[in-house]
Structure 1
Amino acid sequence: MIAVLGPVGCGFRPMYGDRAEQKSPTASELAQIRVGAIEDRIGQQLRNALVQQLSPTGEVARPRYSLSVKVSGSSGAVSTDQSGGAALGNMTMTAQFSLVDIADESVSKTAFAGTARSITSYRYYGPRYGTIATERDAEDRALSELAGSIRNQLAAYFSSRAAGFKPEFAR
């Protein structure tokens, strides 16, 4: 019984969790981010995933931060079958992002920047449709992982700032 109640009084607060009566400071900060448009279809999918993960209840009318993201990807065969054709492929996606504090419109300052990378594998199948389907699945998984990685890095930044650490980043 004591083990169950032990963490309640120690001040432990989940980084992403929110209580019924209040949101965590980290979740509140993440909800204040407006994700800018990202080029291409892949960029649009990444933007949608980021919006969903950063502010699941919807974007705020007056955001405090602006997030800009550039995404690039490549894919290629990593193994061959007995006939010499490709059997397994890897898709690598990289996103470079920067968070700008836009609270004071006269001064826009980059608060945080980082890079996220995801590598997913997929199988090549004889019919072209099968390969396209597995490539799209790998792409969806990679974009979901990128969005999660960006969210985690931003959450760590806001969490360390809330704990009193002064992250140094200047661009």
Structure 2
Amino acid sequence: MLLFKRFFFSRFIQIGVLCAAVALSACGYRPLYGQNSVSTQSQADLASIYITPIDNRAGQMLRSALSHRLMPKATNVKKLFKLNVTIEESITELAVERDASATRGNLTLTAKYSLERAANGQTMTSGSTKTVSSYNILTSDFATFSAENDARSRAIDDLAETMRMRLAIYFQGPGSSAGRVQP
């Protein structure tokens, strides 16, 4: 009897997964991380974004990371859009020992962005993204400095990838004629 129940439960799960796959394929679902996740038109739209200079060292690193993600082939494409970004950084010390020394730190980066049409300055989309990256606070100042810089690099990579995804989703969105309407 137990074997009989397991067999039908297993079949029930298999049929459920198959039905879900068929339903998702019929609704226009497109994978976000697949090889063809960003359409050719969206890639062209992303490549036509000019990223304005961002203040401080973290801003420079973010601008460079965004440039590599938005324009991976570094072609000369007419810049139809302008991306304005501001970045804020804060450090919180955690895991305080009895002698009041911290052994863990959280580096928080918050980026606010707005995408504008280059021709007339019309804001097309805007938003903000936040990421937290942890690191160890060690007895060696140099080791702590290196750990903090590594946390900053990881946080910037995360911000850049999140912003790229959001912009790609905006350009792929229904009715988004952002890149198709010439200014």
TM-score, length of structure 2 as denominator length: 0.74
Matches within 5 A, 1:1-171: 17-18=35-36, 24-58=40-74, 60-102=76-118, 105=119, 107-160=120-173, 163-164=174-175
Secondary structure in 2 aligned to 1:89? Answer: strand
Conservation of the 8 A alpha-carbon contact between 1:116 and 1:150: yes
Post-superposition offset of 1:12? 7.1
User: Separation in 2 of the partners of 1:15 and 1:164?
Assistant: 18
User: Structure 2: which 5+ runs fail to align?
Assistant: 1-17, 179-183
CA spacing shift, 1:59–1:150, aligned 2, 3 Å: farther
User: Separation in 2 of the partners of 1:88 and 1:15?
Assistant: 34
Matched positions, count: 155
- Counterpart AA for 1:138: A
User: Separation in 1 of the partners of 2:176 and 2:50?
Assistant: 24
TM-score, length of structure 1 as denominator length: 0.79
Post-superposition offset of 1:83? 3.4
Secondary structure in 1 aligned to 2:53? Answer: coil
Post-superposition offset of 1:101? 1.0
CA spacing shift, 1:92–1:12, aligned 2, 3 Å: closer
User: Separation in 2 of the partners of 1:128 and 1:28?
Assistant: 45
CA RMSD of aligned residues (A): 2.7
- Counterpart AA for 2:170: Y
User: Structure 1: which 5+ runs fail to align?
Assistant: none
Conservation of the 8 A alpha-carbon contact between 1:75 and 1:91: yes
User: Separation in 2 of the partners of 1:112 and 1:42?
Assistant: 23
User: Separation in 2 of the partners of 1:12 and 1:88?
Assistant: 41
User: Separation in 2 of the partners of 1:126 and 1:12?
Assistant: 51
Conservation of the 8 A alpha-carbon contact between 1:51 and 1:59: no
Larger radius of gyration: 2
